[in-house]
């Protein structure tokens, strides 16, 4: 039942992008190619690999910005964390956003609806999905942008059963589905004529306790001089780090004072490091 709900949500959010194929001239298509390291520090684990992604964006006649990104990653998996892990995993996000008001030349308020999906990571995230509408209040200067996002909506995290089974947990109780609120603070700073640095911190909370924290830092360099005349012409060189912390308390079904107690996973965070080229596709 839940799977059908998510499939329906994905279909709804995908429809605008499926329509792009009939108006390709009005849409920007981009592709990413790169390498990564998926780190679980508490297990002293590094999982290297390569990834490919596609990004599509479009601004409607009513000035609503639509964008969608789908990434597929191929791990060189040494089975350090999960001996049954299939070394292919996925990450995607879809966003619709538009203007609510301009409070001044520099201060703005936007609305947005975001749908995020992450699944099958080597750190035992089977499915992580969020559907969050909200508002974004920001200050836009020529040299930097700072702001805060506030959103409420739907949060779902399912833990893969392979590692928990080895620690005495059954298949039940591996899902946490709840309503949630989220606050994100962010900034983007120009650090040169062709480069910028983005930093953000975000937390999701269900009203009783925190669910997840995420910290992201990305350095982007416009490599038009280096890539001119190549297949990657117009491309960007990007290095980013995404660190995620998970609250595993909702999944524990044993008293913590039990001498045989073990948490559902032997780690509660992961770090994803990427270096990639992001370039336009000229259809």
pLDDT string in tens for the chain (283-residue length)? 334 433 443 343 444 444 444 444 478 999 999 999 999 999 999 999 999 999 999 999 999 999 999 999 999 977 678 878 899 999 999 999 999 999 999 999 999 999 999 999 999 999 999 999 999 999 998 889 999 999 999 999 999 999 998 888 877 789 999 999 999 999 999 998 889 999 999 999 999 899 999 999 999 998 876 666 666 667 899 999 999 999 999 888 777 777 778 889 999 999 999 999 999 887 6
The distance in angstroms from the start CA to the end CA of the chain is: 39
Q: Which two tokens stand for residue 169?
A: 């947990």
Residue 259 has a pLDDT of: 78
Q: Structure tokens of 267?
A: 């780690």
Q: Please state, in angstroms and rounded to a whole number, the distance separating the CA atoms of residues 31 and 52.
A: 7
| 213 to 120, 174, 176, 184, 269: CA distances (angstroms) | 19, 19, 16, 10, 9
Question: Is-contact 52 31, C-beta < 8 A?
Answer: yes
> Quick check: 3 and 11 in contact, CB under 8 A?
no
Phi-psi region of 153 (alpha: psi -120 to 50; beta: other; left: phi over 0): left
Task: Report pLDDT digits (tens) over 205-228.
Answer: 999 899 999 999 999 998 876 666
Buried b or exposed e, range 130-159, using 16+ CB within 10 angstroms: bbbebebbbeeeeeebebebebebbbbbbb
pTM of the model: 0.87
Contact 35, 50 (CB under 8 A): yes
Let me know the angle formed at the C-alpha of 53 by 49 and 54, rounded to the nearest 5 degrees: 175
Share of the chain above pLDDT 90, in %: 69
């Amino acid at each position: 039942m839940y799977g059908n709900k998510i499939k329906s949500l994905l279909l709804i959010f995908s429809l605008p992008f499926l329509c792009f194929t009939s108006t390709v001239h009005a849409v920007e298509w981009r592709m990413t190619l790169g390498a990564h390291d998926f780190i679980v520090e508490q297990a002293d684990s590094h999982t290297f690999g390569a990834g490919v992604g596609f990004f599509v964006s479009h601004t409607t006649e009513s000035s609503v910005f639509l964008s969608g990104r789908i990434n597929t990653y191929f791990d060189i998996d040494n089975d350090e964390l999960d001996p049954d892990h299939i070394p292919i995993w996925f990450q995607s996000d879809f966003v619709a956003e538009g203007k609510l008001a301009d409070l001044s030349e520099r201060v703005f308020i936007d609305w947005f609806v975001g749908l995020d999906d992450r699944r099958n990571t080597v750190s035992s995230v089977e499915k992580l999905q969020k559907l969050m509408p909200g508002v974004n209040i920001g200050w836009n200067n020529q040299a930097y942008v700072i702001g805060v996002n506030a959103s409420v909506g739907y949060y779902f995290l399912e833990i893969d059963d392979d590692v928990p089974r080895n620690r005495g947990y059954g298949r039940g109780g591996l899902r946490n589905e709840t309503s949630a609120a989220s606050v994100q603070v962010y900034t983007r700073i120009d650090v040169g004529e062709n480069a910028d640095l983005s930093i953000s911190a975000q937390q999701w909370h269900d009203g009783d306790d925190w669910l997840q924290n995420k910290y992201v830092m990305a350095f982007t360099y416009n490599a038009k001089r280096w890539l001119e005349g190549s297949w990657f012409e117009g491309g960007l060189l990007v290095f980013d780090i995404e660190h995620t912390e998970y609250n595993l308390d909702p999944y524990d079904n044993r008293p913590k004072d039990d001498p045989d107690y073990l948490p559902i996973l032997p780690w509660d965070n992961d770090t994803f490091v990427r270096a990639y080229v992001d370039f336009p596709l000229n259809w």
